Amino acid sequence: MTLEQVKRMEFLSEKMLAGEASEEEILEYQELLEMWNIAYQLKELP
């Protein structure tokens, strides 16, 4: 993931916690979170 994607994910998570995120932003966050999880799993492979 790029630094820009990580920052976007952080921004969206803050909007979600504040209850200000649109449905589209929530879906975008979910996609970024899935990418984050995949990147983490690949990093952890032996």
Number of separate domains in the chain: 1
pLDDT of residue 46: 66
Q: What is the pTM of this model?
A: 0.84
Q: pLDDT tens for residues 1-46?
A: 899 999 999 999 999 999 999 999 999 999 999 999 999 999 887 6
Task: Tell me which residue range forms the domain holding 38.
Answer: 3-44
Q: How far is CA 29 from CA 10, 18, 19, 46, in A?
A: 9, 14, 14, 28
pLDDT of residue 43: 87
Is 15 within 8 Å of 21 (Cβ atoms)?
Answer: yes
- CA-to-CA distance for 9 and 25, rounded, in angstroms? 10
